[in-house]
Amino acid sequence: MMLKLQNPLLELVGLLFWMCILPWAEGGKVLVMPMDGSHWLSMLKVVQELHTRGHQAVVLAPEVNLHIKGEDFFTLETFPTSYSQEEFDHLFQYHNQMIFKTQNLLKTFLEMVASMKNASMMHSRTCSELLHNEALIRHLNESSFNVVLTDPINPCGALLAKYLSVPAVFFLRAVPCDLDFEATQCPNPSSYIPRLMTTNSDHMTFLQRVKNMLYPLGMKYICHVLHNAYPSLASELFQREVSLVDILSHASVWLFRGDFVLDYPRPVMPNMVFIGGINCANRKPLSQVCIAAFLPSVL
């Protein structure tokens, strides 16, 4: 009987405690630096939820972009770029067309690397222009942001957070070359953790384990092509040697848009959080047109 009385009493005490605290609770200021394209479409829902919970979000993006447009639940801050919208669209369209080409595998790989190199040069040049924009950096410093929300697939957001001395939260699906393991000092045994794009499972034969150990060597080259400019830029800003791992190590929390329902289990560190269901939060029923088009193929 005494136990039954205690539970409602504890609930009442808890309610009073929150009623006392909530009037003093304030929303934070969040600087959002997204990766354009589908990455931004996933992050957009998070920014909207931050606004709903009383936080003030400022989205920082280049003037020339694909999907990042103003909304009523965040402030859009843009900065100029040295390339035009036409150049940007041409690069994007060329990359998309190349993905669907049917040709020699080696030729496809070389063209893909060349395309990624061009895109990386454009992204790194944009990052350099941002970080050397003294007026904008001064404005961001004076804005006193509490946190930077960014996707580390483009390290510029992480570098900006480190440069502003503001904690960073990473919102991502994955990063190549196991950089997430290195940056968080997380165990990464090749014996049962499949490397990205190997198609291996967590139960491998001997030859699959050999492939699992050798495959990252090619990925390291791709990462060098993609991210080579950022350590140099960081070293220039901080006047000391800075590696890409140093830049990504600045993150306080890693929010992975994955889940062990879809991905194989792996070691994680305390600041790694899996939020795999976030992209399914606003699901919509299929239209009758979609259902009619699909049914004949399965009947």
Domains for the chain: give ranges and CATH numbers: 26-181+227-294 (3.40.50)
Tens-level pLDDT at each residue, the chain (299 residues): 444 444 555 554 454 444 444 444 567 899 999 998 888 988 998 999 999 999 999 999 999 988 899 999 999 999 999 888 888 887 777 766 666 666 666 777 777 777 778 888 888 999 999 999 999 999 999 999 999 999 999 999 999 999 999 999 999 988 888 899 999 999 988 888 888 778 888 889 999 999 888 888 877 877 887 888 999 999 999 999 999 999 999 999 999 988 887 788 889 999 999 988 776 656 667 666 555 555 555 44
Contacts 24+ apart (CB under 8 A), 109-118: 113/222, 113/225, 115/91, 116/222, 116/225, 116/226, 117/225, 117/226, 118/91
Q: For the packed helices 105-131 and 206-227, what is the interaxial angle rounded to 10 degrees?
A: 40
Strands of 75-79's sheet, edge to edge?
75-79, 56-62, 29-33, 147-150, 168-172, 251-256, 272-274
From CA 140, how far away is CA 216, in angstroms rounded? 37
